[in-house]
């Protein structure tokens, strides 16, 4: 199509002429201020916008308003059902607030995190959401803990952490296994480079020590948050006669691998090994046996994140949302009840 055939873009002046008002008044209607517009005039402007098909220049509007209505989001990977669920919840909340989300998949690599942060800065995003960021990223921003980190583009120090209390919830899950009478509880954790993984290990240790039990380093396995990681850790942990009677697994996706490894070893859940997982994704309802898990409320996390992004000014803090222990067959409970 040549320039002569290309339709002319509708301008704010065109809307003003049709609405029989000024371009400034049209601007007040589009931007909802700074001055009020009489209801009848406002309606004429809205009718003219619809009739002409006028679309504001969002880039120019964002530069004037010092915000772009876009959010950057760092996601380790999409195979993990918890991450996938949280991504979907964030996107739904963003749509409700007329915002767009730009995703960066980091593969748990610190250098990739930094690459996307620079890219998001270049695009002037209003905030960055980072799921389970690396220790390096956290140490360059804040010492606060949480599953979800909000980084304001105006400075790395302006940080809000949102998520459940990972240490407390991991301790609660491990304590529940101990309350079943299992005195030997292993832990399949995430990589040592992930701060959230280390925090969950602390919770496991808290529960063991609170019972006056000696901590056995051989009962701790640190592996990636993957099917393969869970499988390898379970083979190592349960491949000998000195295996623990129960295990706390730090993610549902690892637990799938654990169940396969236990089956390959000829061990039954929970008869031979009791299992308590972490994340509380829907997949736990459909595995055999069904999986007990710490449930992270992704809808609450997503809503809290969007509420913080809307704040002006934004202040650094940690926001804890409530977790829930979901009791199913894998720990030795009837589904839905904590009683053995």
Give 55-103 pLDDT, tens digit per residue. 766 555 554 555 678 899 999 888 899 999 999 999 999 999 889 999 9
Burial tier of 235 (Cβ tally within 10 Å: 0-12, 13-18, 19+): middle
Q: How far apart are CA 185 and CA 171, in angstroms?
A: 12
CATH of 166-296+324-331, one of 3.40.50.2300, 3.40.250.10, 3.40.50.410, 2.40.50.100: 3.40.50.2300
85: part of which helix (H) or strand (E)?
helix 81-96
Give the sheet arrangement for strand 159-163, strand by strand. Answer: 100-105, 70-75, 127-131, 148-152, 159-163, 317-320
**Domain edges within the chain:** 12-56, 68-165+299-320, 166-296+324-331
CB atoms inside a 10 Å sphere around CB 293: 28
Residue with more model confidence, 151 or 256: 256
| Nearest residue to 329 (alpha-carbon basis) of 340, 314, 315, 318 | 340
pTM above 0.85, yes or no: no
Q: Which of 157-171, 174-188, 274-288 has the lowest mean pLDDT?
A: 157-171
Judge whether 12-56 and 166-296+324-331 match in fold: no
Percent of the chain with pLDDT over 90: 54
Q: How far apart are CA 266 and CA 261, in angstroms?
A: 9
Q: Which CATH class is domain 12-56?
A: mainly alpha
* pLDDT tens digits, one per residue of 276-308: 999 999 999 999 999 999 999 999 999 999 998
CATH assignment, 68-165+299-320: 3.40.50.2300
Asked if the model's pLDDT at residue 150 lies above 90, the reply is no
Q: How far apart are CA 130 and CA 7, in angstroms?
A: 42
């Amino acid at each position: 199509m040549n320039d002569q055939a290309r339709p002319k873009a509708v301008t704010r002046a065109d809307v003003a002429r049709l609405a029989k008002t000024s371009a400034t008044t049209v601007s007040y209607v589009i931007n909802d201020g700074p001055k009020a517009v009489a209801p009848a005039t406002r309606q004429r402007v809205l009718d003219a916008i619809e009739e002409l098909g006028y679309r504001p220049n969002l880039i120019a509007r964002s530069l004037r308003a010092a915000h772009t209505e876009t959010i950057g989001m760092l996601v380790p990977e999409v195979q993990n059902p918890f991450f996938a669920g949280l991504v979907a919840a964030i996107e739904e909340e963003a749509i409700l607030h007329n915002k767009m989300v730009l995703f960066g998949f980091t593969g748990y690599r610190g250098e990739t995190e930094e690459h996307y942060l620079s890219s998001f800065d270049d695009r002037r995003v209003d905030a960055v959401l980072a799921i389970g960021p690396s220790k390096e990223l956290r140490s360059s921003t804040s010492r606060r803990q949480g599953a979800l980190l909000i980084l304001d583009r105006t400075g790395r120090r302006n940080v809000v952490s949102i998520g459940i209390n990972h240490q407390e919830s991991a301790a609660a899950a491990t304590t529940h296994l101990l309350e079943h009478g299992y005195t030997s509880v292993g832990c399949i954790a995430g990589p040592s480079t992930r701060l959230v993984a280390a925090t969950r290990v602390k919770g496991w240790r808290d529960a063991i020590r609170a019972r006056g039990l000696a901590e056995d380093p051989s009962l701790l396995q640190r592996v990636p948050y993957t099917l393969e990681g869970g499988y390898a850790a379970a083979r190592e942990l349960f491949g000998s006669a000195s295996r623990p009677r129960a295990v706390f697994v730090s993610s549902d996706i690892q637990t799938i691998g654990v169940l396969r490894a236990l089956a390959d070893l000829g061990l039954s859940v929970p008869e031979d090994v009791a299992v308590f997982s972490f994340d509380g994704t829907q997949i736990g309802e459909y595995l055999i046996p069904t999986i007990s898990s710490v449930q992270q409320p992704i809808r609450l996390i997503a809503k809290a994140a969007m509420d913080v992004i809307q704040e002006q000014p934004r202040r650094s803090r940690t926001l804890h949302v409530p977790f829930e222990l979901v009791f199913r067959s894998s720990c030795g409970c009837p589904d839905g009840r904590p009683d053995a």
